[in-house]
Structure 1
Amino acid sequence: MRGRFITLEGPEGAGKTTQIQKIREKLRERGVSCTVVREPGGTRIGDRVREILLSPEFSNMCQRTEILLYASSRAQLVEEVIRPALERGEWVLCDRYVDSSLAYQGYGAMWDLEEVKIVNRIATGGLVPDRTYLLDIPVETGRERLRLRGKKKDRMEMKEKLFHERVRQGYLTLAEREPHRFRVVDGTKTPDEVHGAIMRDLFLWAGI
């Protein structure tokens, strides 16, 4: 029996990584085997690509290069990790996926959305998540969270506020267009409240 493919999406500082770990723990309590991956990266090749994509050293990267690098990392992750795990009957929890490219490169960078879709359809072989949780937060909230973490900003986090505003709106537009797959969660709430909202929907949807 094929596993379930669950993705978490959201702007910078939304808390996706924290929530994925919480989801994995709760699913394991229910006896569900999980594989957790993140983007970009998740494989030896993908991690090398991630270094290039997020390094401030490459601030002059052209948009087409960025789109193709994200897609190449994703292609490797799908073939090496995601598809095999799903075929084994495992659930895959993925921190970012194609919707990130649509939001960041399509809406944020204002690249042709259809081109981004075509490139990623090729990269993933058409693999679409079964369920996507969008952790929605205002841009300023996300920036403040990153500041409090004391983490050095990567190349994407360094982009101007207007770019990130377009990303947020792009995510919300994607969710409106695919209501059967997306669930929008208020990311400004506490981690436990966000986790509770996700798990209530996930258990109901999956019937476990």
Structure 2
Amino acid sequence: MSLGKFIVIEGLEGAGKSSAIELVKQVITEFTEQEPVCTREPGGTPLAEKMRDLVKIADESDPLCDEAECLLFYAARTQLIANVIKPALNKGQWVLGDRHNLSSLAYQGGGRGLMTLVQSISDISLQGFKPDLTLYLDIDPRLGLARAAQRGELDRIETQKIAFFDRARETFLSFADQDESIVVIDASQPMEKVHQDIRSQLNQHLANLN
């Protein structure tokens, strides 16, 4: 049995990842005649979901320091890869991820200014493991956060200052420029046009994922 493929959706808050994931799930199912295994980061396993709570919930009595945040993300990620993603791929199943390592490079590396730490941990923990294709939904943080605020109360990370998200966006785009497996989608467009672009790019790349 051939190995499955790992496709990831990335983007800042308010970029429309949730609806994009549903669309990509549909396209993959049509292409493979099998629903992909869907994951999210941080999270995706019982232990990793507990780590998600730690990084998402603000505790004024014990603020989470930037380095600890970074380590928690990678602890959750390695759990997910070891216990869900790689076993599924080895069975020939496709995996669809809501965020992966590119988010840590952008948020903790670019946003927090911890790029040296992030890249070191990434190299050690992932050992070259990466998605076959990443669709990055690009949006100006101001528009994205305005959209996110309409969904309800923002979490700890979503309440960071705008400069944090500007740095994260710059990092997302920088890595996309360097890696042909990362495709940039303009998420500031109307949703119908965004979804047209996603479907077009995904169909274009699916046949070339060998």
* Alignment TM-score, normalising by the size of structure 2: 0.92
CA contact (8 A) 1:175 1:183 kept: yes
What is the match of residue 189 of structure 1?
A: 189
Cα RMSD of the aligned pairs, angstroms, is 1.5
Match of residue 76 from structure 1:
79
Aligned amino acid, residue 159 of structure 2? M
How far apart, CA to CA, are the structure 1 residues paired with 2:82 and 2:148? 32
Match among 96, 100, 103 for residue 103 of structure 2: 100
CA distance in 1: counterparts of 2:43 and 2:95, whole angstroms? 15
Structure 1 residue runs of 5 or longer lacking an equivalent are: none
After superposition, give the CA deviation of every residue in 1:73-104 in whole Å (9 maximum; x if it has no partner): 00000011100111111111111101100000
1:35-69 deviation digits (Å, cap 9, x = unpaired)? 11110001100000000100022672111111100
The number of residue pairs the alignment matches comes to 205
Q: Which runs of 5+ in 2 are unaligned?
A: none
Q: Partners in 1 of 2:74 and 2:122 — Cα distance? A: 6
TM (norm. structure 1) is: 0.93
Give structure 1 regions of 4+ aligned residues with deviation exceeding 3 angstroms. none
- Percent of aligned pairs with the same residue? 35
Work out the CA distance in 2 between the residues paired with 1:121 and 1:37. 22
Structure 1 residue 11 displacement after superposition:
0.8
How far did 1:32 drift? 3.7
Amino acid at match of 2:190: T
Cross-structure match for 1:204: 204
Residue 61 (1) aligns with residue 80 (2): no
Per the alignment, residue 145 of structure 2 pairs with 143
SS of the residue corresponding to residue 203 of structure 1 reads: helix
- Give the structure 2 partner of residue 130 of structure 1: 132
Q: CA deviation at 1:137?
A: 0.5
Aligned 8 A contact 1:108 1:164 in 2: yes
Give the C-alpha shift of residue 176 in structure 1: 1.0
AA paired with 2:4?
Answer: G
**d(CA) in 1 for partners of 2:21 and 2:46?**
21
Shift of 1:170: 1.0
CA distance in 1 between counterparts of 2:15 and 2:59 reads 25
